[in-house]
Amino acid sequence: MSALSLKSKKYFTLMIALHLLAVIFSAGYYNRDEQTQVLQIVGVKLGMFGSQYLDYQHLSAIRTWFHPTLYIWCAKLYLLFFPLNPFHLATLFRLASSLLGITSLWYLYKSFKNTFKTEAETNTFFFFLATMWFLPFLHARTANENLTTSFFIFGLYSLTKNENIKFAIFAGIFFALSFITRFQMCVMIATTVLWFLIFNKYSWKNFAVLVSSFALVLGLSTLIDTWFYGHFTFTPYNYFKVNIIEKYVAQFGTSHWYEYIREGFKSGFPPLSLVFITAFIILWIKFPKSLLTWVTLPFFVVHSLIGHKELRFIFPIIFFLPVILTFLIGEFKINLRKSWVIAYLLLSIPAMLYTSLTPASNLINFNKYLYNKPDRINKMYVSTHFDEVAKFYLKNDIEYIEYKPEEVEKLMNASGKKYFFTMSLADRDLVLTHSQCKKDFSLFPDWIYEFDLIKKRRTFKSWTVVECSN
């Protein structure tokens, strides 16, 4: 880092600080797979609960054990010194994921530093690293989309060291880790290696070493999976068979090919998202032979052709936006006006602070309430269907029983203590009209409900636990 300017160092330091804030405050999950595909597996192996909580994807052996095993090792090290607390463990896992992400951003710079022609361009790159609103949030996630990209970037950096066979070994190892973390990365890995073979005259000898080390890691992963699953299994084939041949993934819905563009614009904090989408399109059209195009475009196209789409599936390409924006600014000799920078910061910084300093899932506070409550709740009445996916955070099983508004009176007359988890203001107020009931937990402070706009929206998600005694 000594070769960097003071400005770039400051940006990098700021980026680290923002990542650490996200680790602390961005608790919970962005997608339920972080719980069902990772943390619940960790919980089973730590003896927190039984294997009956493993879902179909794991029982079908379509997921490798590598990703959960990383956190299992972290947890066992932690438990040598501290008592079990799932919330502390989750923070530790976010820290491990974020540190891996921070390190990958440094190697992203090292992979493309020759692309930056001036010190000003290098400063611009680190400016984007520090201010791109989604980076701290995504790197704090325990999702495989995060880790797989970090491993890919390590492999990419190793590819740039064509003159050293040692780095060919590293490239194969890290690409294999990226692949077994998320199988769809085979597209990005293949097109990236192909670019180096065609345009960078990558040594065929080193390529053979890369493939060999890739195969070795994949073989070791298969042995680990066979051990954990209790029978021989090859998870990449299982994944292809279940999701493509048996069309398991189709049950979750299909979308048009342009869904990623539409959803990316909507969820990417417009108008910033429009700038980001435009940058990708310009890169792909104007620079078809660029490594950045070969890394991102085929990956995007393949995912667009697959019927089932979730925005997180293409997250691996957005981690390259700091490089892409800096590259385009340099190629088109764009003079960043002060007003443009201010406008960008006024949009990006609030988005970053919101995503980094608030829970990724509001329900994490509900889970904390249940975990810290002295009296364990075994049964809870819910006003609408509630699917508890955060078993990792619970001390005991809770039976959620859905009720209808007209059934409230009958439930009130039943003896004993009862708990209602009401999802809307209307449901909450209906239960609270009974004198024997009191609010025991709410996701939001009382003053939120005093706003007229909130009061009028009777369907507003209040997520309140009401305790009733009879």
| Rounded-to-integer distance, Cα 297 and Cα 314, Å | 11
Choose among 359, 253, 265, 305: nearest CA to 34.
359
Dist CA 327 CA 316 (whole Å):
18
Residue 456 has a pLDDT of 65
pLDDT at 252: 78
pLDDT at 118: 93
Low-confidence ranges of the chain (pLDDT < 50): none
- Maximum separation of any 2 CA atoms in the chain, in Å: 79
Give how far Cα 82 sits from Cα of 7, 99, 124, Å.
40, 21, 42
Alpha carbons 12 and 188: distance in angstroms, whole number: 27
What 3-state DSSP class applies to 463?
strand
Instruction: Give the type of residue at 195.
Output: W
pLDDT (0 to 100) of residue 2: 55
Coil, strand or helix: which one is 61? Answer: coil
Nearest to 276 by CA among 192, 380, 355, 347: 347
Q: What is the pLDDT at residue 254? A: 84
- Contact 363/390 with Cβ under 8 angstroms? yes
Query: Where do we find the tokens 């390409």?
Result: 317
Cβ atoms 209, 170 nearer than 8 A:
no
Residue reference for tokens 């066992």: 76
Give the angle 336-160-219 at the CA atoms, nearest 5°: 125
Q: Beta 437-442 vs 461-468: how paired, if at all?
A: antiparallel
Q: Which tens digit of pLDDT belongs to each residue from 361-394?
A: 888 999 999 999 998 999 999 988 887 778 899 8
